[in-house]
């Protein structure tokens, strides 16, 4: 935490006392809510409510057209292809929509591009493959909003495309049969922070003609996995999805998820948002990073326990391999780029290496971003092209930075905190210079990373009840972080590694 400035949230303690009494909640809970800016009684009631209340799925711009085109395909028994993505959001979106359409008797298949050979999103080669399978309708999940060229090409082959996505549109609207994306201009859906799987779930509810709460028992676990893994804010509808989805996961998980929980060594533990983020999601992601993403989809769809256990073991093994690859690249980065301090002194940290696995560079960028508190991009360099993955800090949009130098970029996509891009290898040096220059223009003073503390902690006032008072705020994650407290005026007297060195036990005294 040495590279972060400690900032204590401004709290009106008298107001928190009033809220505690009015809302009949623990005073410490009221204090934590106040530190997060939740001080309106109605907002508090909604935040703490266990009622799964959601917005109308039909409020999405284009949802009516999407439902009409898909229903026509189901009724006419057209061949439908779900075009997904290889991350957990894309995998769960694919499994969700495939499961639903199969249950309606649709002639449906799914396709997930190979990360290495095809990269993110639609491409002409995959469209030709789908055409050879006599597909007449493609439904994208977690991609497609910026695939205008590919969608036009599909049309020349007689295929319609329904786009469902949550990424920010970077150009004009694509010429699709229907587009469902909360970020579309004119979309009246009041909630905008869905993961791709959240958009896919709303589509399914609209197809079913039901309220968004009614299908949680069938698909809430998938929405939970994708939402957490894609680091979407656990506020509003996402909080409700995850809160109820975790209950389903802990009470009656689908067969494949149960097998994955067992492979991760979590069978005897309660599954939390943290368990999903740090234990389950990486194993599902491993299939798309260094293996075959179809296996992860099949794991979530199968009803065969033996097959599920086999797939879960494979994903667990691939995750171990992914960890080793990540460690090797980070070691190379440490040796090559960090010693002279020039790279880390840049506004945007950019590292690049030949042969770095495309499935791991995003994790490397995330590690650098977290360690140095700056946007970071890691490139895997080939003879002609360099494929990059970017991560950023809270107050700097990496999507905006890349867009500002897009004349040097072959292709890119993503959102504020994460993005993927491809550039010509010969333009790499120019890109590094240009993105840092542009960052200096739009961020004259780069935001200094902050560690937000909910409050100062008086150890004398700490009790078991205080700890329990936090649990009502779960699930914790992006947008609703685990409470952090500051101990001031204390000195460390002992630091003891535990858990094989992954954690520390601290002793302190005034």
Q: Looking at the structure, tell me whether residues 184 and 70 fall in a common domain.
A: yes
Examine the domain organization and report whether 387 and 416 are in the same domain.
Answer: yes
Per the structure block, which two tokens stand in for 202? 């709303």
Q: Are residue 61 and residue 195 in the same domain, yes or no?
A: yes
Q: Which two tokens stand for residue 327?
A: 């460690």
Would residue 388 count as lying in a domain? Answer: yes
179 and 195 fall within a common domain: yes
Mean pLDDT of the chain: 93
For residue 266, is it within any domain? no
What is the Cβ-side half-sphere exposure of residue 273, based on CA atoms within 13 angstroms?
27
The answer to whether position 300 is within a domain reads no
Range of the domain at 492: 15-49+451-509
Q: Which pLDDT tens digit goes with each residue over 326-373?
A: 999 999 999 999 888 889 899 999 999 998 999 899 999 999 999 999
How many beta carbons lie within 10 A of that of residue 148, not counting itself? 17
Domain match, 38 and 86 both: no
CA gap 291, 301 in Å, rounded: 18
CATH number at residue 143: 3.90.1640.30
Task: Answer whether residue 384 is part of any domain.
Answer: yes
Query: Is residue 171 over pLDDT 80?
Result: no
375-398 average pLDDT score: 94
Per-residue confidence (pLDDT) for residue 451, from 0 to 100: 85
Same domain for 424 and 480, yes or no, is no
Predicted confidence at residue 195, as pLDDT, reads 97
Q: What is the CATH number of the domain that holds 364?
A: 3.10.310.30
Q: Using the 3D structure, point to which of 415, 442, 469 is the last residue of a domain.
A: 442
Phi, psi of 24, rounded to the nearest 5 degrees: 55, 55
Of 101-110, 165-174, 206-215, the range with the lowest mean pLDDT is 165-174
For residue 1, what pLDDT band results from cuts at 50, 70 and 90? very low
pLDDT of amino acid 3? 67
Calculate the alpha carbon distances from 452 to 7, 9, 477, 486 in Å. Answer: 5, 7, 14, 9
Question: Would 324 be classed as within a structural domain?
Answer: no
Same domain, yes or no: 39 and 160: no
425 shares a domain with 455? no
Cis peptide before 475 (omega within 30 of 0): yes
Is residue 118 domain-shared with residue 19, that is, in the same domain?
no
Q: What is the count of structural domains for the chain? A: 3
Which pLDDT belongs to residue 72? 98
SS3 219: helix
- Counted residue by residue, the chain has a size of 510
Which whole number is the average pLDDT over 302-307? 97
Which residues make beta-bridge pairs with 5? 450
Contacts for 458 with CB less than 8 Å, ≥ 6 apart: none
What tokens does 89 get? 């959001």
Indicate whether 401 belongs to any domain.
yes
List Cβ neighbours of 16 (8 Å cut-off, separation of 6 or more): 27, 30, 31, 33, 34, 39
Question: Is 229 among the domain residues?
Answer: no
- The CATH number linked to 457 is 2.40.50.460
Residue (of 36, 131, 118, 63) closest to 85 by Cα position: 118
Query: Of 151, 162, 240, nearest to 194 (Cα)?
Result: 240
Strands 411-414 and 418-424: antiparallel
> What pLDDT does 241 receive?
97
Mind listing the pLDDT tens digit for each residue in 400-435?
Answer: 999 999 999 998 888 888 999 999 999 999 999 999
Percent of the chain with pLDDT strictly greater than 70: 99
Establish if 257 belongs to a structural domain: no
Question: What are residue 2's phi and psi, to 5 degrees?
Answer: -70, -20
Copy the structure tokens of residue 278. Answer: 């740090």
Q: How far apart are CA 61 and CA 456, in angstroms?
A: 45
Least confident of 300-314, 447-461, 483-497: 447-461
Mean pLDDT of 274-280: 96
> d(Cα 242, Cα 54) in Å, to the nearest integer?
13
Helix (H), strand (E) at residue 505:
strand 503-509
Summarize the confidence of residues 436-458 as an average pLDDT.
Answer: 87
DSSP state of 144: -
Residues 413 and 488 placed together within one structural domain of the fold: no
Is residue 142 located within the same domain as residue 192? yes
Q: Helix axis angle, 361-372 relative to 305-336, nearest 10°?
A: 50
Residues 159 and 206 in one domain: yes
Name the residue with tokens 């935040």: 47
């Amino acid at each position: 935490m040495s590279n972060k400035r400690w900032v204590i949230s401004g709290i009106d303690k008298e107001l928190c006392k009033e809220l505690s009494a009015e809302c009949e909640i623990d005073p410490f809970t009221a204090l934590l809510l106040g530190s997060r800016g939740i001080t309106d009684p109605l907002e508090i009631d909604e935040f703490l409510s266990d009622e799964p209340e959601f917005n109308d799925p039909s409020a999405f711009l284009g949802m009516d057209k999407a439902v009409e085109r898909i229903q026509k395909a189901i009724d006419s028994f057209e061949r439908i292809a779900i075009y997904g993505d290889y991350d957990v959001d894309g995998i769960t979106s694919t499994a969700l929509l495939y499961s639903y359409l199969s249950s309606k008797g649709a002639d449906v298949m799914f396709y997930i591009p190979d990360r290495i050979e095809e990269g993110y999103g639609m491409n002409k080669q995959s469209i030709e493959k789908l055409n050879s399978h006599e597909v007449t309708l493609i439904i994208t999940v977690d991609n497609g909003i910026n695939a205008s060229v590919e969608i036009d090409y599909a049309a020349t082959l007689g295929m319609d495309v329904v786009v469902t996505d949550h990424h920010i549109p970077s150009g004009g609207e694509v010429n699709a049969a229907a587009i469902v994306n909360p970020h579309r201009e004119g979309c009246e859906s009041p909630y905008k922070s869905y993961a791709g799987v959240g958009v896919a779930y709303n589509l399914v509810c609209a197809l079913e003609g039901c309220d968004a709460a009614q299908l949680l028992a069938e698909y809430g676990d998938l929405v939970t996995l994708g939402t957490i893994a894609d680091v979407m804010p656990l506020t509003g509808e996402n909080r409700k999805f995850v809160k109820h989805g975790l209950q389903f996961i802990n009470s009656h998980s689908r067969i494949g998820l149960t097998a994955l929980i067992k492979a991760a060594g979590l069978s005897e533990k309660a599954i939390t948002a943290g368990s999903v983020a740090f234990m389950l999601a990486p194993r599902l992601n491993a299939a798309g990073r260094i293996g075959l993403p179809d296996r992860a989809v099949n794991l979530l769809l199968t009803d065969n326990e033996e097959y599920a256990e086999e797939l879960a073991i494979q994903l667990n093994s691939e995750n171990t391999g992914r960890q080793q690859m990540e460690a090797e690249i980070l070691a190379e980065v440490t040796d090559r780029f960090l010693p002279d301090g020039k790279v880390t002194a840049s506004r945007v940290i950019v590292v690049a290496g030949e042969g770095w696995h495309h499935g791991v560079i995003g994790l490397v960028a995330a590690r650098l971003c977290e360690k140095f508190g700056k946007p970071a991009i890691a490139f895997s360099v080939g003879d002609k092209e360099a494929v990059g993955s970017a991560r950023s800090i809270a107050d700097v949009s990496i999507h905006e930075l890349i867009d500002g130098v897009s004349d040097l970029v072959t292709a890119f996509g993503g959102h504020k905190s994460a993005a993927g891009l491809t550039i010509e290898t010969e333009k790499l040096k120019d890109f590094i210079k240009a993105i840092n220059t542009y960052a200096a223009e739009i961020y004259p003073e780069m935001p200094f990373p902050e560690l937000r503390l909910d409050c100062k902690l008086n150890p004398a006032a700490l009790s078991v009840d205080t700890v329990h008072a936090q649990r009502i705020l779960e699930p914790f994650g992006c947008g609703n972080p685990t409470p952090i407290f500051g101990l001031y005026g204390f000195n460390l007297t002992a630091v003891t590694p535990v858990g094989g060195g992954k954690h520390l036990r601290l002793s302190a005294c005034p």
